[in-house]
Amino acid sequence: MEGDYPAICDLITSKSELFRVYPRGSYPFTIEQLSQIAKSRQDLTIVIQDDTVVGFANLYDVEPGNRAFVGNVIVSMDLRGQGIGRRLMQYMVELAFSKYRPMSVAVSVFSDNTPALLLYTDLGFKPYAVERRIDPEGKPAALVHMHIDRGEHARSC
C-alpha cells in the first residue's frame, strides 16, 4: 500500500479539493501527510483501473459494535461520474458493517459538493448534523455529517 502513496497524493489536484478530502491538510498533499493519516485510520482502500490508482478511501474512528466513519474519499478528476465513487462507497460501507458490525456508518461532506451529497443520499445516508468550518479562502463552509444505520443498510441491499 505504501508504494501507492504517490499515486494517492496525485489524486488531489488543488487546494480546494484537498480541503474537501482532508480539511486539516496543507497543499500540496504529500506522502508525509498521507503517512500520518494511515497511522490513525483503518482499511485504507484504493481503486485500481488499468493499473492506475483512481480512487481512495478509508475508515476512521471505528468503534466496533457502535460506529464507523468513511473518510478521505476521492476519485480521479478525469473519471468522476462513471460510478467509481459509488462502488467505492458501497464497498467501504459493506466492509464497515461486515467487519466491525457498527450500529451506523457515517460520512462527512461539504455542502458545495453536490455530486457527493447526491451519491450519499442515493446510498441511503441521511444528514444528522451540520458543522461550521472555514474554507481555504477564509469563507464559511458547511460540513454535512450523514449516516446510515445498520437496519437501513440491510434493507437497501
Mean pLDDT per 10-residue section of the chain, whose length is 157 residues:
95 96 96 97 98 98 98 97 97 98 98 97 98 96 97 84
CATH (domain of 100): 3.40.630.30
pLDDT at residue 81, rounded to an integer: 94
pLDDT at residue 87, rounded to an integer: 98
pLDDT at residue 154, rounded to an integer: 84
Nearest to 73 by CA among 116, 15, 29: 116
| Overall domain count for the chain | 1
Quick one: residue 101, left, alpha or beta (phi over 0 = left, psi -120 to 50 = alpha)? left
pLDDT at residue 138, rounded to an integer: 95
pLDDT at residue 136, rounded to an integer: 92
pLDDT at residue 13, rounded to an integer: 96
Write phi, then psi, for 114 (nearest 5 degrees).
-55, -45
For CA atoms 112, 96, 76, 133, the dihedral sign is: positive
Domain that holds residue 52: 2-156
| Rg value, the chain, Cα | 15
Locate 109 and state its grid cell.
461532506
Locate 80 and state its grid cell.
468522476
How many CA atoms within 13 Å lie on the side-chain side of 98? 8
pLDDT at residue 156, rounded to an integer: 80
